[in-house]
Homo-oligomer: A and B are copies of this chain.
């Protein structure tokens, strides 16, 4: 987008949100650590200086790859080049009915729903009359041991043990059980086994019960079934599975198993060379296996697509996308994280500081950085979380 600032093109940016969300910190909004505006920047404000960009707020209802048009808000817009960067969301492995019981975390709206579920669980526990009901409200299950699942589980344990201390009269929040359930053999599968093991140790030190090699077979309002055993839990959070945005299909492209678009070397769609795919929606091989669905990869793709379009306009062939892997970060919780830069691997406090600095640095907008720093400093010293509000519209099943 911004890479096209000086290109001889008119850009129409279509987004269903009016803001860019800083995904890596979304879990902090979901766990009441940060206010939503701290990790969201209005698209118009980011792009206001870029005169060749028009921003439209809406859903893309259709793509006509032959007529070269996209339909948004019942209006058709022609294009010379179409860039799809609509990413992926979580998937319930064909059990869509689980969604209501186990919300996932991809948008700010999801974050508000999860925040309300978590905070409300303790409220309901406080008011419960019988022991079993109380225990079920104080039982939390996080499904999926990827970065999001690890972040949510670690933060949940911190909230139960520290943030809510002293605040209840009938329950002991520290007695809550937080379970992280991963179907694969280890948490953070994208990291080296050593770091996965370190992450699991750190989670357990925070009070999270980690169960690997267990697939969820059922999710209901009462809890989950895993390995033939039932776990009573009124709060189940979903951080497993990947499903690509349906726009890939709309574009008539060839999709991989989870619906990502199999792109050519220059990130264009083989059948429709005027359509480019950037970000998680693109399925492409990198030097060491497939390019991971992480923000740095998406940014590299965005820049490449801009260059590719400029090349095409200049009558040159677009070069092949080359992914540069800088590393992986994941935070586990308070003073706990893992960092894998390939040549450098960190765990614990050092990794946490590294994670902290990197995320502050990449947060858009000075004000946000400052406010986030203040919130984190306050949380660090007081364990209090600045965004502990439940708004009714978020309390839906």
Q: Could you tell me which A residues sit within 8 Å of B by CB distance?
A: 16-19, 35-38, 40, 42, 44-45, 48-49, 53-58, 73, 75, 108-109, 112, 119-120, 123, 126-127, 129, 164, 166-170, 367-368, 370-371, 374-375, 378, 384, 386-394
Asked whether, in the complex, the Cβ of A45 is within 8 Å of the Cβ of B167, the reply is yes
CB distance from A20 to the nearest CB of B (A): 10
Asked whether, in the complex, the Cβ of B58 is within 8 Å of the Cβ of A127, the reply is yes
CB distance from A217 to the nearest CB of B (A): 31
A120 to B42, CA, bound (A): 12
Quick one: which of A127, A392, A394 has the most chain B CB within 10 A?
Answer: A127
CB distance from A144 to the nearest CB of B (A): 24
B36, B119, B370, B375: the one within 8 Å of A391 (CB) = B36
CB distance from A174 to the nearest CB of B (A): 14
A353 to B390, CA, bound (A): 32
A375: chain B residues at CB < 8 Å are 367, 371
Asked whether, in the complex, the Cβ of B388 is within 8 Å of the Cβ of A19, the reply is yes
A394: chain B residues at CB < 8 Å are 393
Quick one: which of A108, A170, A393, A394 has the most chain B CB within 10 A?
Answer: A393
Quick one: which of A16, A18, A166, A368 has the most chain B CB within 10 A?
Answer: A18
Q: A389-B108, A393-B393 are in contact. Are A170 and B54 (CB under 8 A)?
A: yes
A127 to B57, CA, bound (A): 8
A18 to B37, CA, bound (A): 20
Q: A54-B170, A123-B18 are in contact. Are A42 and B389 (CB under 8 A)?
A: yes
Q: A37-B35, A44-B168, A370-B374 are in contact. Are A391 and B54 (CB under 8 A)?
A: no
A170: chain B residues at CB < 8 Å are 54
Asked whether, in the complex, the Cβ of B18 is within 8 Å of the Cβ of A390, the reply is yes
Asked whether, in the complex, the Cβ of A37 is within 8 Å of the Cβ of B168, the reply is no
Asked whether, in the complex, the Cβ of A391 is within 8 Å of the Cβ of B75, the reply is no
Q: A371-B371, A388-B18 are in contact. Are A57 and B109 (CB under 8 A)?
A: no
A109: chain B residues at CB < 8 Å are 391-393
CB distance from A5 to the nearest CB of B (A): 15
A164: chain B residues at CB < 8 Å are 44
Measured CB to CB, the nearest residue on chain B to A379 is: B367
Measured CB to CB, the nearest residue on chain B to A40 is: B389
Asked whether, in the complex, the Cβ of A112 is within 8 Å of the Cβ of B391, the reply is yes
Asked whether, in the complex, the Cβ of B391 is within 8 Å of the Cβ of A126, the reply is no
A199 to B169, CA, bound (A): 48
Asked whether, in the complex, the Cβ of B18 is within 8 Å of the Cβ of A48, the reply is no
Quick one: which of A53, A75, A119, A389 has the most chain B CB within 10 A?
Answer: A389
Q: A119-B18, A127-B73, A367-B375 are in contact. Are A387 and B37 (CB under 8 A)?
A: yes
Asked whether, in the complex, the Cβ of A75 is within 8 Å of the Cβ of B129, the reply is yes
A32 to B111, CA, bound (A): 19
B37, B54, B120, B390: the one within 8 Å of A386 (CB) = B37
A19 to B37, CA, bound (A): 19
CB distance from A73 to the nearest CB of B (A): 6
